[in-house]
Structures are given as structure tokens and as C-alpha cells.
Amino acid sequence: MDSVTRQSHIVELARANGRVEVNSLADELDVASETIRRDLKALAGRRLLKRVHGGAVPVETAGFESGVEYRSQVDLAQKQRIAKATVGLLDGAETVYLDEGFTPRLIAERLADRHLTVVTSSLLAAQALSHSTTVTVLLLGGRMRGRTMAVVDHWATQMLRGLVIDVAFLGTNAISLEHGLTTSDPAVAAVKSTAIEVARRSVLVAAHSKFGESNFCRFAEISEFESIISGVELDAAQARRYEVEGPVVLRV
């Protein structure tokens, strides 16, 4: 197997499984571990994979976005802490926007006993609130993205533009000082940016692995957020660099 074919296969495996390991790849592809390490280095240089201890994980790109099942398994304990801390930033809000993604679903679970109106593009968040007797759920209409179980396109943005929301809790595929907040799909970017426009306050919820990364479509600047909530896994010095841009960064 030549290097191009081998590296393509490695990317496919990483995207299918969420991670690849050096030793198992070497065994499967019948090559030396050092060959696999060179492949991973090359793929990381092309921003298709990100090196981690013992292997690599896929990088989200314009052509690849991880699904809900994968997101529910990655950084789960951190995302649970982020969701718990996020509810503490309601500050009397009566209307809340919940973005698509797995962390917003975890936030939804913690809002179920509050007296709120929740607007969301996420079928998962709406489902988490479906049995609540105190939360009114407004689910945006539009084209459903099966990979993330969320709705997008002009129906969703038109509905959002008719609202004024107290606080928006949003996620991101990537955040960097150079490119701001980015995601892989222009339709998703449009919904996120509209939610920020109509919200009085915007809060970003993002695991530490999203920082220092960039994706295809910019939807916001860092300065547009009042707060950023991440895990203690986010380096403190890196967190301070993002605070210089305006928001308070909470590491939980």
C-alpha cells in the first residue's frame, strides 16, 4: 500500500471510530510504527488529524463533521461540568436560546425544572425538555441535519429574527484568536450568528479541545461573547489570552 492510500485509509478510520492508535494501525497495515507516526505527522500538517498521546483524532473540516454519537463520547465529564456551570449564568433570564450540539443538550437537561421559554435549533435539546411542565419549548423550523439532529436554513433564521432572547448558549466547532469562532457548514453559521444578533447576552460553551482550532465558516468574533465556559483542561495562560478579547473565561 503506497503512502497516499495508507494515509487516506487512516483518515477514514479516524473519522469512523473517533480515534486511531499508532500500534494498532501498524499491525493492521503491516508497517512499522515509525511509518505510522510519519503518516500522522503528515496528516496533522494537512489539518486532517490532530495528534494525541499514542495516536490521533479527526479534525473537523468543511468536508467532515463529527456526529452526535461521537460527540457524546468525547470529553463527557468536562461537558457535564460545563453544563452545570452554564445554568449558573442564567442571571434571571426568562428566554433562552440553546444551540445545536451535545453540550447544549446537557444544558437542556438541567433547565427542565426552571420556569423558562427555551428556543432551540436542536431536536436533542427539545427532546430533553419534552417532559418538563415548566419550560415552554419553541423549536425552530427548517432543514434537518441528521448528523447533528438540528435544523438550519432560512426558516430557522427568519423565526429567530422575530424574537428578542435574554441569553443565548452557543457551541462551536473551533475557536482561535486569529479566526474567531468557526464551524464547518455555512447554514449552521447563519443560525448561530443570527442567535447572537437577537440575544441580549451570548455565552460560549466549549471543551478545551476546541481552542486554538479553526474551521471553514466564521460566525462570530470572540468579543461578541459575555462569557466563555470551558473545562479546567484549558490551559490557564491560554484562557487569559482569550479574556483579553473581552469575555470572562470560566474554567470548571
CB 234 within 8 A of CB 243: no
Banded pLDDT at 7 (limits 50, 70, 90): very high
- Say if 20 falls within a structural domain: yes
| Residue with more model confidence, 187 or 18 | 187
pLDDT in tens, 138-177: 999 999 998 889 999 999 999 999 999 999 999 999 999 9
Query: What local confidence, expressed as pLDDT, does residue 70 receive?
Result: 58
Q: Are residues 50 and 146 in the same domain?
A: no
At 161, give phi and psi (nearest 5°).
-65, -15
Query: What local confidence, expressed as pLDDT, does residue 18 receive?
Result: 82
Count of the separate structural domains present in the chain? 2
- Say if 18 falls within a structural domain: yes
| Domain CATH for 45 | 1.10.10.10
pLDDT in tens, 233-248: 999 999 999 999 999 9
Q: Which three cell numbers stand for residue 84?
A: 452545570
Query: What local confidence, expressed as pLDDT, does residue 161 receive?
Result: 97
At 191, give phi and psi (nearest 5°).
-65, -45
- Say if 180 falls within a structural domain: yes
Q: Is the pLDDT of residue 20 over 60?
A: yes
Q: Are residues 170 and 144 in the same domain?
A: yes
Cα–chain center distance at 15: 16
Beta-strand ranges (E) seen in 81-172 are 95-98, 116-120, 135-139, 143-145, 150-152, 165-170
Burial letters 99-111, b for 16+ CB under 10 A, else e: bbbbbbbbbbebb
Q: What is the mean pLDDT of residues 86-111?
A: 97
- Say if 80 falls within a structural domain: yes
Residue type, 105: R
Q: Are residues 116 and 200 in the same domain?
A: yes
Contacts with 58 (C-beta within 8 Å, 6 or more apart), sequence order: 11, 14, 15, 18, 48, 49, 50, 64, 66
Banded pLDDT at 67 (limits 50, 70, 90): low
Q: Is the pLDDT of residue 74 over 80?
A: no
- Say if 64 falls within a structural domain: no
Distance in angstroms (rounded) separating the CA atoms of residues 48 and 43: 5
Q: Is the pLDDT of residue 72 over 60?
A: no
Helix (H, G, I), strand (E, B) or coil at 13: helix
pLDDT averaged over every residue in the chain: 93
Percentage above 70 pLDDT, the chain: 96
pLDDT in tens, 99-134: 999 999 999 999 999 999 999 999 999 999 999 999
Q: What is the mean pLDDT of residues 171-196?
A: 96
Bridge partners for 57 per DSSP: 50
CB 64 within 8 A of CB 31: no
Percentage above 90 pLDDT, the chain: 81
Q: Which domain holds residue 24?
A: 3-58
